[in-house]
Amino acid sequence: MPDGCLPLVLRQVEWRRYQFDLFLIGANFLLRIPGHRFRRAVLRHIAGCEIGARCAFERGVRISARGGVKLGNHCNVNHGVLLDGGGGLVIGSLVN
């Protein structure tokens, strides 16, 4: 491998790490904004979560990974909950 390639590869890996950190900071900031519909849209479209019908998310819900979270119908996720979909997280219907 040429001498100049290694630093470039390391910079790309470092940038990807920063991108993921920025994603988490941005998504968790948006999840603190009022409005259940807005937070549901953030989780569905930005965080890649699968969410059933009539789920409610209180302000202060946090995520630690993109995707991997599946929620059933009629769920309520309270303030301070960390949804960690890194290894996959499935929550059934009618869960509070």
Tens digit of pLDDT for each residue in 22-69?
A: 999 999 999 999 998 999 999 999 999 999 999 999 999 999 999 899
Under 8 Å between Cβ of 39 and 31: yes
- Residue 12: enclosing H or E segment and its boundaries? helix 5-30
| Span between the terminal Cα atoms of the chain, in Å | 55
pLDDT value for 58? 93
Confidence of residue 6 (pLDDT cuts 50, 70, 90): low
- Mean pLDDT taken over the chain: 88
Sign of CA dihedral 81, 47, 11, 5: positive
